[in-house]
Structure 1
Amino acid sequence: MSDPNDLGAFLDAAWQHLESGVAHSASPARFVTFATVGQNGVPQARTVALRGADRAAASVEVHTDVETDKVAALRQMPMAALHIWLPEANLQIRLTTRVTVLTGSQVDEAWAKVPTGSRVSYGTKPTPGTPIADVYAYEKPAERSRFAVLKCELTQMDLVHLDARHRRALFEARDGWKGTWVAP
């Protein structure tokens, strides 16, 4: 068994889970909670699919329709929190990020990788959140111009391992991700 005091191993394990969430659709780290502060100042949380995890760049990525409330909120305040719960590992990962909304030619490579059947997630008419006359009064055309990548640059990673004795560590970009143990 690895040393429970090893901050580096704890951080390594978290990144392995994030990378698994990108690589494997059945991974519990695939679908994460993405939270922003709405334009009205009210917190908003929703589930998104993790589409990229780059430890060297300290970033993760998700895809969205550019007409969603989350994009409007991010244009007002480009910060988000992501929450990942991994039940088998008894691990909670909380990420604090600065988000850049990428569109147009910046996302050509990402769009090319989106399966044809999944492209209908980008272009809902009327736009997401618009009241409709009945449950199916909308269309889902695939519109390339509505596709956006949310590049989330990590500023902080908070890890909590729930076991007989809980462990919690805080890692921050500003100190080179060296980490510190904090009380759970």
Structure 2
Amino acid sequence: MSEWFETTDGILSKVWGTLGRGVADVKHPARRPTFATVSPDGWPEARTVVLRSIDPTVAVVTVHTDLYSDKIKSLQAQPRAALHIWDAKQDLQIRLQAEVSISSGAQTRALWDKIPDHAQQSYGVTPAPGTPIKTALEYVKDPDPATFAVLQCTVTTIDAVHLGADHRRVSFSRLGHWQGQWLSP
């Protein structure tokens, strides 16, 4: 019997399983991927987000954000992002490229109502995220469903690297119907 990292199908299954664990387990490394965009003036931006849901059948992952965050401005200018996860226990690096759509307002109200009060504190800050302030705590958290946004990330490519005794790297693409292509690591 082969190990998961010895076949492209095994790696693809492990990638989606790892992402699923990130949604379900608050302590799993896939819970907080690095989310990268390009600013409207062309600079790379990376920040940590919380993975909220995945659907491998349509290759979609979602994260939540404040509608007034810098990542929204970046995504409005260029609706693409990359997500990066490092799972040290599995020696697995996952990189996703995705096309991103932004939902807010009435589209997200039912979801907002399901978010616990302590988590709602992340959406609705005055002044808006990124605004200069004089002292570190010169802001007010005022949860507001009007500032809550869901980023639906439709995965277009997956690049997975297993750094075991033998390094293995494989690429998958939506256009290629998720057939794995081995790459030199």
The percent of aligned pairs where both chains have the same amino acid is: 45
Q: How far did residue 108 of structure 1 move? A: 2.3
Moved beyond 2 Å, runs of 4+: 1-5
Aligned match of 1:164: 165
Letter in 1 for 2:8: L
Mapped partners of 1:93, 1:19: distance in 2:
13
Deviation by residue 1:89-135 (Cα, 9 ceiling, x = unmatched)? 01000000000001112212321221111101001110111110111
For structure 1, the residue ranges without an aligned partner over 5 or more in a row are: none
Supply the distance in 2 between the matched residues of 1:106 and 1:30 (Cα, whole angstroms). 24
- Paired residues for 1:19-30 under 5 Å: 19-30=20-31
Q: Does the CA contact (< 8 Å) of 2:109 and 2:145 recur in 1?
A: no
**Counterpart in 1 of 2:125?**
124
Q: Which residue of 2 aligns with 1:15?
A: 16
> Which residue of structure 2 aligns with residue 134 of structure 1?
135
**Partners of 1:129 and 1:85 in 2: how far apart?**
27
Q: TM-score scaled by structure 1?
A: 0.97
Residue of structure 1 in register with 2:156 after alignment: 155
Q: Give 2:38's aligned residue.
A: 37
1:1-150 matches, cutoff 5 A: 2-3=2-3, 4-150=5-151
Q: Which runs of 5+ in 2 are unaligned?
A: none
Q: Which amino acid aligns with 2:142?
A: P
SS at match of 1:176: coil
Q: Which amino acid aligns with 2:38?
A: V
Q: How many residues align?
A: 184
Aligned partner of 1:147: which letter?
Answer: F
Summarize deviations over 1:125-155 as a string: whole Å, max 9, x none: 1011111011110001100000000000000
